[in-house]
Structure 1
């Protein structure tokens, strides 16, 4: 089963498709992923066969004949990202269909023969190039401490930023505030489901709040333990007695590696579904004020047309925004030559009050990009001025 899927649509020449595929193959190898197994590339002919649970993005190669119109329209109706691209000497309006011209276009350059810029945009749409890959380990110290520390170290060695309460809260920090903040910034929660896991109010709250934030959970169930129905919908790995070297771990090497692989698969679905969720909430807010969401383009930029005709480019982000996130949005909007001020859209629930104050200060003092809570998007956009 694939983890990620990419559609190649339009009039791409065989050498263009091959160069982009080779570059994508090189870049996903950094995550120990392979084109053809973990990452499937589809054309218009087999796009209907795509796995709708996998993170998906599409590239539309501009061509004067403007092929694949119908299948491209279905991609837009599914609210998934699509990136129109064209050659250096081509005219955007001449080779890109009218209904795609609202999206960020990417013009290929002579100094980028491997199309690395386009490949990066695709991987950002899939969620692979988020600056950090965040995992939260939820466990009871008296039952699974050794396994928790083991998974923290193993995931860290594979390029993840892993939160473990005994390792990642500095002395003097407000413990619970930091914990919830880090939970909100996580892509996946690894739950070590031991016999008394739900007897602790803290672990119970961790899973409840992860579900409230739509963060996917990987449940690792201890041997001879009957898990709670509260997490029946979570992805689950059941441990046999021989897979634990001690009562609280560590877990044998092969199974620990299987858990890391499962985290990567679940992470892609988690990010994709959370992007879809925040985009759906934004769409609902826009509809309240008689605006229209015209579609999703490169870098997951959402094209919004307000009731008075103004166009706003919104960039939904998963997790906790930072100054770097604001800078990324400003750069992407500038590269796309968008008019007006781009908007970073985020879910503020669970973010520390000190961090929220920091974001407000940034928003008040940086004019090149705005930050907007998705729950207040309709309110703020109703008073939007270019």
Structure 2
């Protein structure tokens, strides 16, 4: 399989809790309706299989050593790759720096001392699921299609992806009558993790579908091209992977009918293919946002540390803040969720909480809305294009 999620275990990997952490993780994966084949467990002996092109989350079990820290070279590489990492220790947090490599000593680690095992394992696994963005509200797909060509399959995919815990956008099902159709459609695309494009004979004859393709390219959103039999791949889709259909994928081999339907096996393969591409492109978009911020912070000599929760811990002008990178457009609900989540993780008070987003592909009307929210909510948003100026002040 080309794309997958990587759950990495380093440090004292013989710790008695690790098998139960793995079991609980895959139990949750099953509950979410994800295929276990999309997940690879990596430890030091098979670290050669690790790739920075796929989403990764590392659990590091700290341990006292006489000389150097366990797997220190690997940890240094993971930090350099902006891989999310959760340090665990079996002692009091006052001993943290004596148990983990220097490069992660500023990370927000977790002490297992005194914690009920079930509660601790649940917390660790939830951390990994958050890092992979596998919770339903964060797994967004957009179906782009030509109504007169493929309405039957579009509705099928909408229903099937929903069953597999995607939050799916389909124009006929997802826009309220009172909404501005064009504005809402394009904004929902920008908010999506992946676009499922039904490549049929007349797809590019529609102004709407051309616009959707263009916007997806500009925003670097991954495209799954589902190509009908006898038709060719649409050129010009940048982050695109192709899933070719055969007549046998359709019920009664009928693929020319607007109401044609795919068989069950083909639907499942498309869902798996969609999840695989989502894994790669979402990681790429997140890494770009985080690495750009970290570059600006280093240039401005501001202390910034990437935590295991995918937050950036920031120390600036004597204030301690947390920056939460967001893919797509932040909304009031994101602000509330971020504040609740951040405060549940950090015991000490924080001076500020920010949500970081890429404003380039977000429509002006929504940017104005975010500016209005900044005046009324304690959590503030920051545009990545203005971070350099903000940190330099």
TM over 0.5: yes
Shift of the alpha carbon at 1:99? Answer: 1.9
Does the 8 Å contact 2:217/2:237 carry over to 1? no
Q: Distance in 2 between matches of 1:159 and 1:77?
A: 32
Summarize deviations over 1:60-111 as a string: whole Å, max 9, x none.
1121223111111111111111111223635322322322122222233523
Summarize deviations over 1:291-313 as a string: whole Å, max 9, x none.
4654x22111124455x676643
In structure 1, the partner of 2:30 is: 29
In structure 2, the partner of 1:259 is: 270
2:309 partner SS: helix
Q: 2:101 aligns with which of 97, 108, 125?
A: 97
Matched residue count = 379
Q: Distance in 2 between matches of 1:120 and 1:213?
A: 29
Q: 1:164 aligns with which of 170, 178, 198?
A: 170
Q: 2:241 aligns with which of 235, 238, 249?
A: 235
Does the 8 Å contact 2:6/2:56 carry over to 1? yes
In structure 1, the partner of 2:333 is: 324
Summarize deviations over 1:315-366 as a string: whole Å, max 9, x none.
2111222333223332343323464323210123444555444433332223
Q: Distance in 2 between matches of 1:266 and 1:250?
A: 23
Summarize deviations over 1:32-65 as a string: whole Å, max 9, x none.
3455x32111112222222443211111112122
Does the 8 Å contact 1:190/1:220 carry over to 2? yes
In structure 2, the partner of 1:56 is: 56
In structure 2, the partner of 1:348 is: 359
Q: 2:311 aligns with which of 287, 293, 301?
A: 301
Shift of the alpha carbon at 1:240? Answer: 1.5
In structure 1, the partner of 2:72 is: 69
1:373 aligns with 2:383: yes
Summarize deviations over 1:128-156 as a string: whole Å, max 9, x none.
13633211001111111111111111112
In structure 2, the partner of 1:174 is: 180
Q: Distance in 1 between matches of 2:231 and 2:46?
A: 43
Does the 8 Å contact 2:175/2:184 carry over to 1? yes
The change in CA–CA distance for 1:130 and 1:98 in structure 2 (over 3 A counts) is farther
Q: Distance in 2 between matches of 1:84 and 1:319?
A: 29
In structure 1, the partner of 2:194 is: 188
Q: Distance in 1 between matches of 2:214 and 2:283?
A: 20
1:24 partner SS: helix
The change in CA–CA distance for 1:137 and 1:54 in structure 2 (over 3 A counts) is same
1:220 aligns with 2:226: yes
Does the 8 Å contact 2:133/2:139 carry over to 1? no
Q: Distance in 1 between matches of 2:92 and 2:163?
A: 44
Q: Distance in 2 between matches of 1:150 and 1:326?
A: 33
Does the 8 Å contact 1:106/1:336 carry over to 2? no
Structure 1 unaligned spans of 5+:
none
Does the 8 Å contact 1:137/1:164 carry over to 2? yes
Does the 8 Å contact 1:281/1:375 carry over to 2? no
Q: Distance in 2 between matches of 1:327 and 1:106?
A: 24
Structure 2 unaligned spans of 5+:
none
2:57 partner SS: strand
In structure 2, the partner of 1:275 is: 286
In structure 1, the partner of 2:203 is: 197
Shift of the alpha carbon at 1:5? Answer: 0.8
Q: Distance in 1 between matches of 2:89 and 2:340?
A: 20
Summarize deviations over 1:223-254 as a string: whole Å, max 9, x none.
11122321375111111123233423222222
The change in CA–CA distance for 1:352 and 1:342 in structure 2 (over 3 A counts) is same
Shift of the alpha carbon at 1:265? Answer: 1.4
In structure 1, the partner of 2:122 is: 116
